[in-house]
Amino acid sequence: MRQRNAYRRAGLILLAQASTLYEINVVLKRVALAVFPREQVAHLHGKEWTQFMQSTCLGNQFETFGLVNDDSPANDAMRNSARTWICHHQSNTN
């Protein structure tokens, strides 16, 4: 189990270093690519990306990611949403 969730731990470490929304999205995309098929995730951005995050982590809202510019400074709400997604997203392989 610990080995299976190593990508989540690595994502949380990278998230702590992210300073903009763009950097948070890069971390989230790396985490997603670790567990979802590349052809399902790699091309997503904007509204499609937030819909993907919402659909894979039900009960959480990720609209904040689509409402601000990529160069916006990371704030606690963004970090908390990203942390929640990293820790609780669901896929067929989890």
Q: What is the DSSP string of 25-49?
A: HHHHHHHHHHHS-HHHHTT--HHHH
- Region of residue 35 (left: phi > 0; alpha: psi -120 to 50; beta: else): alpha
Q: For the purposes of burial, counting CB atoms within 10 Å of the CB of 58, is it exposed (0-12), middle (13-18) or buried (19 or more)?
A: exposed
- pLDDT value at residue 79: 92
Q: Which of 37-41, 54-58, 89-93 bottoms out in mean pLDDT, i.e. has the lowest?
A: 89-93
Higher pLDDT, 47 or 30: 30
Residue 67 has pLDDT above 80, yes or no: no
77 within 8 A of 24, measured Cβ to Cβ: no
Higher pLDDT, 63 or 47: 47
Question: What contacts 6, CB < 8 A, 6 or more positions away?
Answer: none
pLDDT band at 1 (very low <50, low <70, confident <90, very high): low
Residue 85 has pLDDT above 60, yes or no: yes
Percent of the chain with pLDDT over 70: 87
Mean predicted confidence (pLDDT) in 30-58: 92
Residue 66 has pLDDT above 70, yes or no: no
